[in-house]
Amino acid sequence: MSGFQGGRARPSPVIRLFSFEIPKSFVNTYIDGQIFEDSQVEQSQQSNKQKVLPDAPPKIKDKLLVPLKLKKLAYARSGDKGNSANIGIICRQPEYLSYVYYSLTERAVMERLSHFISGDSLEEKLKHVSRFLLPGISAINFLITDVLGGGGIASIRNDAQGKGFAQLLLDSPIMVSQWIADEIDGNEDIG
């Protein structure tokens, strides 16, 4: 592994993090040098295993749609969670959510980032991409698993934390109504 500075590259070690779980009873808590006995909280055996997912946004009724880059419709941020990446897309206006949702599918994201996603076939790569709707803030979150080459300190990629994934998506074409394209093109402050 080498850095970006000028001159001859120097090798550096690759450090890996190995996390594991141990029973809480194996660990003593110390406060001011004294063992602290914390109380045990009983957990309910009942849990709601049914997932509560929001309804998809309303379908687009317009017949004439034109392409517009995602960066004109939304903000985006991305980052890592271990060897997985989260990409958050937040629409600039609530009325843009349906257009972004129906254009920026799991398949569209997979195709845009396929060179990073592990798997031999497109269908195998698609299994690593999940989409979650956050309608209250007109947002969508994408979780992409096994995409960071080991993640964090274990990865030898230039972008080991996936911070650039959002920027790669911002150039994606989103099919929008003509009136939205006209409205946005009239505002030169965006994108």
Average pLDDT taken over every residue of the chain? 86
Residue 13 banded pLDDT, cuts 50, 70, 90: confident
Token pair of 128, please? 């690593």
Residue 7 has pLDDT above 80, yes or no: no
Query: Is there a contact between 109 and 75 (Cβ–Cβ < 8 Å)?
Result: no
pLDDT in tens, 118-165: 899 999 999 999 999 999 999 999 999 998 888 777 777 788 888 999
pLDDT for the residue numbered 100: 97
CA 187 to each of CA 31, 66, 73: distance values in angstroms, whole numbers, following the listed order: 59, 17, 12
pLDDT in tens, 90-99: 999 999 999 9
The residues pairing with 29 across neighbouring beta strands, listed in sequence order, are 36
| Number of Cβ within a 10 Å radius of residue 170 | 17
pLDDT for the residue numbered 21: 87
Q: Spell out where 29-162 has E strands.
A: 29-31, 34-36, 65-69, 74-81, 84-91, 129-134, 139-144
